[in-house]
Amino acid sequence: MAILSGLFGFVLVKEYVLNLNDNRWNMDHFLPSFEWHHTAEGETFLQHLYNGRTSGRKLFGILEKPFQSSNLEEVCYKLVFVGKTGVGKTSTINKVAGISAYSSYFETSGIRVTDVYWPVKVWDKIILFKLQCWDAGSSSMKKYNHIPLSCVDNADFFIFIFSFNDAQSFNELPQLINKFVTSRDNQPGSIVIGTRSMLKTEVMKSEIKDFESKQNIEVLTIQNSIYHSGPYETVKVAPLLNTICEKLWMRDQQYILKQGIKV
């Protein structure tokens, strides 16, 4: 769990507990706002993620950050992408990172880590989420024991990918979820993302519904073949990034409440 997230969450939970008897307060105050990115303040923050020359998203080096404000909280999480070979793990990371997608397929060898920065407004605070996206080619995952071990180590969130055009990639998800999402105190969060076209789908809507209720996990969709340039690109990936940040945030808030940290 991100340390800053813990500390900041601690402050929020403290204020929440103090206001429990007031009907005006509920847990919604502690969820990231999905509308904030459309406000003037949100748009100004998003500008920092862009490269003025190319109008594409900036990639930040280890020592670089999109914002230098001392008022901004930064939280860092490890996200691991898992799924059958060729389902679109690398393409999905490229899409959320704002990297223009390539249509030719190169199997990912070893582990590739991409940092994605995403500012989120929770209550009256702006928090910068640094999402470290771990992408291991599925052949490397099977071939070398240390690769899945490194991925699982201290992971905060698993993103299971399947392709709507490949039923097998969907059918093997329960096995993958059992393998990766281990039960521990602050259990990693998870979602499932389906790639490619739902027009030629081999996976029925009823199967998705059944899967969601049995596994208690949300299934989202993404189309990696369509790339939008300029600020519109972030608008398209915002719902997915907000959902991931919200799940990470809620997981930490619930963990802190469960621990019964004394104020």
Ligand X SMILES: Nc1nc2c(ncn2[C@@H]2O[C@H](COP(=O)(O)OP(=O)(O)OP(=O)(O)O)[C@@H](O)[C@H]2O)c(=O)[nH]1
Place of tokens 């030629």: 200
Closest to 92 in 3D by CA, of 53, 61, 131, 54: 131
Q: What is the rounded CA–CA span in Å between residue 156 and residue 129?
A: 13
Least separation in angstroms between residue 99's CB and ligand X is 11
Site string for ligand X, 176-215 (x = CB under 6 A): -------------------xx-------------------
Kindly tell me which residue out of 35, 41, 107, 153 binds ligand X, with binding defined by CB under 6 A.
107
DSSP summary character for residue 142: H
For ligand X, the binding residues in 129-148 under the rule CB under 6 A are 137-138
Kindly tell me which residue out of 5, 94, 108, 224 binds Mg ion, with binding defined by CB under 5 A.
108
98 binds, among ligand X, Mg ion, none (CB under 5 to 8 A by kind): none
Least separation in angstroms between residue 110's CB and Mg ion is 10
- Tell me: does residue 114 bind ligand X (CB under 6 A): no
Least separation in angstroms between residue 86's CB and ligand X is 4
> Which one, 138 or 190, has the nearer CB to ligand X?
138
Kindly tell me which residue out of 85, 150, 171, 254 binds ligand X, with binding defined by CB under 6 A.
85
Which residues are CB-neighbours of 181 under 8 A, at least 6 positions away?
A: 158, 187, 188, 190
Place of tokens 């109008």: 55
Task: Confirm if 82 and 90 have CB atoms less than 8 A apart.
Answer: no
Least separation in angstroms between residue 194's CB and Mg ion is 16
Q: What is the token pair recorded at 142?
A: 């099977």
- Tell me: does residue 90 bind Mg ion (CB under 5 A): yes
For 26-85, the DSSP string reads -GGGGSBPSSGGGSHHHHHHHHTTB-TTTSSB----TT--S---TT-EEEEEEEEEE-ST
> Residue 138 carries which side chain, given as an amino acid letter?
S
> Which one, 54 or 109, has the nearer CB to ligand X?
109
Site string for ligand X, 35-74 (x = CB under 6 A): ----------------------------------------
Per DSSP, helices labelled H in the chain are 3-18, 40-47, 89-97, 138-143, 146-152, 167-171, 173-180, 205-215, 232-259
Q: Interface with ligand X by CB under 6 A: which residues?
A: 83, 85-91, 103-105, 107-108, 137-138, 195-196, 223-225
Q: Interface with Mg ion by CB under 5 A: which residues?
A: 89-90, 108
